[in-house]
Amino acid sequence: MDVSQLLFGVIVSTVLLISSLIIAAFAVLWLSGTGYLGVKVLAAAVLGVLIFSGVNAFLVKSWTWWKESKIRPLPDKKLFSFVAILYVVTVIFALWYAFAIVLNKNWAYDKATRGGYELSFSELVADTWSQKKPRLPTPDQVAGEIWKSTGTAAAKKWERTEGDPFLERISEVLGDKRNLIRHAWLTLSATMLGFVFGTGLGILLAVGIVHNRAMDNSVMPWVITSQTIPILALAPMIIVVLNAVGLSGLIPKAVISAYLSFFPVVVGMVKGLRSPDSMQLDQMRTWFASKAQIFWKLRLPASVPYLFTSLKIGVAASLVGAIVGELTISQDGGLGARMLQGNYYGATLIIWAALIVAAALAAVLVSSVGLAERVTKKRMGFVQ
Amino acid sequence: MDDIVIKAENLCLTFETNDGPVHALKDVDLTIDKGEFVSFIGPSGCGKTTFLRVLADLETPTGGTVCVNGMTPREARRKRAYGFVFQAAGLYPWRTISGNIKLPLEIMGIPRAEQKQLVEEVLDLVHLSGFENKFPWQLSGGMQQRASIARALAFHADILLMDEPFGALDEIVRDHLNEQLLELWAKTNKTIGFVTHSIPEAVYLSTKIVVMSPRPGRVTEVIESTLPKERPLDIRESPEFLDLAHRVREGLRAGHEDDA
């Protein structure tokens, strides 16, 4: 065991200990609303140490087991990472709840002062975790808000349209302006359209840049310049200009998201198309291959790994572009419009719900590209 | 003679660099007959690779004339008169072995049915039958280089140009491939130009050894081999072989003395 391993162990153990204590403290507070502070702290400490030593022992044990077991290391490794991930998530949630108390306590105290009553610690905690417009809503509040604006909203709409034909009712529910699913769908469609535009444009520009010296010298600087302009400043102008030529709705948002997503594709594809070395190009020359043949048989397949790396960045940028577009054209709805709406009314819950849904959307999009990458690479024989 | 395949006269090639001109080749005269196995040997910078690249029309000479199959190198390249094997196998990782060998055939527009037959034929020639559907990473370095030789042979060019094809392989694999190369040469009766900096390899393989020296790159000696066409590996212990190797070494040393 060298020093770095020892240091790592100490740091991990410290983080584990502190976070276990926090978790235990909240667990105790949650269970007992009243009681002596000293007893609570003691109970929290005991519980914290117990959780810490249990988890720590389990992690250390499974770590050594995984390292030593040569027969079937895989399931054990999976279990180990599952526990580790679970633990990290728990720590994040614990910190989140702790910060909710810190950030929301002023409003709770304000209410108490105005009402002329004293707040015990447990009452403070209960209040900070259930405010209507908290500075930082808790995870369960956000989850509740998401459920309210999707499932509950759909159920309500379903009831209200009672008597209409079945298919009409379904389209009513899906088109409900209050439903977060519809907003998410709007954002997703703008993102996808923009992503397709952006990727197409990016690939075309990269092909031009690689094959044409003049384009290499003239286009690349503009591509880079385009990304230095803040998109928030540019978005309204793009929308106004496109409206003037009669384009509205989905297209302007898709254009903004294409504007953000074409850049990584250009950069990645230029590098990918140039990745064949001089020997491979000489080899093509000895066969008297045409430029088109070199492109289709060598440059394009060689650029595939680079393309997928770019696409992962591009799809996330696309989503950001669509949301920025929706902040500007908010009348059509979408997750960006929901965030703006939440901002107007100081409804942090709406903002957070939209944020979390957007993050989930991004995760799904990026992992879909990752899946496509794995399948393509496997089929092309890149995977060893 | 009618069967001269390669003929170079007063061939010069000068690279212009920031430090002044570099004479990669100066006044090179050489003829190679059909069916010969010619090795080019010399220290690095002697222009042996450059000469091969001139024959392949990958470099343009700045003086003199060169004929490949009675044509200019460009004509010869357009007619696909030669196959070129580089130092690295350079197989495409996204193509199977048969896919890689088909690559030049696809580029040349050979019909699919014929492609399949040519691939089978040439894989058999390099003893790689059964590996058609493997990807390059599934093969050893020596097998990859054999596949790349198969690729250069697939379109039935008369000339095979090889630029240190076994330079990156270990000696055991190298011996094995040398033996197979001779067998292949005997079967196909191709004219082979082979760049190397191993004296035993040059002597073992060649009917003609071209000794070159650097600054400026030029031919210092052309040694005709006296070895028989049948060459088992242990011919390398025969006095005749050692004598030839000695002559090559002397030639190389003479080139170096000029340099000093």
Q: What is the CATH number of the domain that holds B34?
A: 3.40.50.300
Asked whether the predicted pLDDT for residue B155 surpasses 80, the reply is: yes
Beta carbons of B92 and A298 less than 8 Å apart: yes
Asked whether the predicted pLDDT for residue B205 surpasses 80, the reply is: yes
Asked whether the predicted pLDDT for residue B72 surpasses 80, the reply is: yes
How many separate domains does chain B show? Answer: 2
Nearest to A101 by CA among A140, A77, A128: A128
- Mean pLDDT in residue range A149-159: 81
Q: Kindly report the nearest CA distance between residue B212 and chain A, in angstroms.
A: 24
What is the third-level CATH fold of A179-380? Answer: MetI-like fold (1.10.3720)
- Contact status of A282 with chain B (Cβ, < 8 Å): yes
Query: Tokens in use for A110?
Result: 């304000």
- Whether residues B56 and B121 share a domain: the answer is no
Q: B-chain residues within 8 Å CB-CB of A282? A: 58, 84, 86
- Whether residues B77 and B125 share a domain: the answer is no
- Whether residues B75 and B180 share a domain: the answer is yes
- Whether residues B197 and B70 share a domain: the answer is yes
- Whether residues B106 and B123 share a domain: the answer is yes
Q: B-chain residues within 8 Å CB-CB of A298? A: 92
Strand partners, B193: B38, B161
Per domain, the residue ranges of chain A are 3-128, 139-172, 179-380
Average pLDDT of chain A?
83
- Mean pLDDT in residue range A3-24: 66
- Whether residues B98 and B32 share a domain: the answer is no
- Whether residues B136 and B112 share a domain: the answer is yes
User: What confidence category does residue A269 fall into, taking pLDDT thresholds of 50, 70 and 90?
Assistant: very high
User: What confidence category does residue A38 fall into, taking pLDDT thresholds of 50, 70 and 90?
Assistant: low
Helix axes A153-160, A166-174, angle to 10 degrees: 140
Nearest neighbour of B56 by CB, restricted to A279, A284, A286: A286
Q: Give the Cβ contact number of residue A349 at 10 Å.
A: 20
CB B92 within 8 A of CB B101: no
Q: B-chain residues within 8 Å CB-CB of A304? A: 94
- Contact status of A301 with chain B (Cβ, < 8 Å): yes
- Whether residues B74 and B90 share a domain: the answer is no
- Whether residues B163 and B246 share a domain: the answer is yes
Q: What is the pLDDT of residue B1?
A: 46
Q: Kindly report the nearest CA distance between residue A311 and chain B, in angstroms.
A: 20
Q: Which stretches of chain B sit within 8 Å of chain A by CB?
A: 56-58, 77-78, 80, 82-84, 86-88, 90, 92-96, 103-104, 106-108, 135, 137
Q: What is the pLDDT of residues B103-149, one digit of tens each?
A: 999 999 889 999 999 999 889 888 888 898 999 999 988 899 989 99
Q: What is the pLDDT of residues A331-366, one digit of tens each?
A: 888 889 889 988 888 888 889 999 999 999 999 999
Q: Which residue has the tokens 């703006």?
A: A340
Q: A-chain residues within 8 Å CB-CB of B137? A: 381, 384
Q: What is the pLDDT of residue B234?
A: 82
Q: What is the pLDDT of residue B225?
A: 85
Q: What is the pLDDT of residue A43?
A: 67
Beta carbons of A282 and B108 less than 8 Å apart: no
Q: What is the pLDDT of residue A29?
A: 62
Asked whether the predicted pLDDT for residue B71 surpasses 80, the reply is: yes
- Mean pLDDT in residue range B194-199: 90
Q: Kindly report the nearest CA distance between residue A286 and chain B, in angstroms.
A: 6
Q: What is the pLDDT of residues A197-238, one digit of tens each?
A: 999 999 999 999 999 888 888 888 888 888 888 888 888 888
Q: What is the pLDDT of residue A265?
A: 95
Q: What is the pLDDT of residue A79?
A: 67
Domain that holds residue B198: 1-81+158-169+176-260
Angstrom distance (rounded) from CA B140 to CA B143? 5
- Mean pLDDT in residue range A179-193: 90
CA A60 to chain centre: 31
Q: What is the pLDDT of residue A27?
A: 65
- Contact status of A384 with chain B (Cβ, < 8 Å): yes
Beta carbons of A381 and B94 less than 8 Å apart: yes
Q: What is the pLDDT of residues B42-58, one digit of tens each?
A: 888 888 889 999 999 99
Domain end residue (candidates: B156, B189, B209)? B156
- Whether residues B65 and B145 share a domain: the answer is no
Q: What is the pLDDT of residues A50-64, one digit of tens each?
A: 777 777 777 676 666
CB B115 within 8 A of CB B102: yes
Predicted structure pTM score: 0.78
CB B6 within 8 A of CB B68: yes
Q: Give the Cβ contact number of residue A299 at 10 Å.
A: 23
More confident call, A359 vs A32: A359
Q: Which residue has the tokens 């009348």?
A: A331
- Mean pLDDT in residue range B64-80: 87
Domain end residue (candidates: B98, B123, B156)? B156
Q: Kindly report the nearest CA distance between residue A317 and chain B, in angstroms.
A: 29
Q: Give the Cβ contact number of residue B7 at 10 Å.
A: 17
Q: What is the pLDDT of residue B90?
A: 87
Q: Kindly report the nearest CA distance between residue B77 and chain A, in angstroms.
A: 6
Beta carbons of A279 and B80 less than 8 Å apart: no
- Whether residues B110 and B225 share a domain: the answer is no
- Whether residues B162 and B62 share a domain: the answer is yes
Beta carbons of B107 and A283 less than 8 Å apart: no
Q: What is the pLDDT of residue A34?
A: 53
Ranking A24-33, A272-281, A352-361, B189-198 by mean pLDDT, the lowest is: A24-33
Q: B-chain residues within 8 Å CB-CB of A284? A: 107
User: What confidence category does residue B38 fall into, taking pLDDT thresholds of 50, 70 and 90?
Assistant: very high
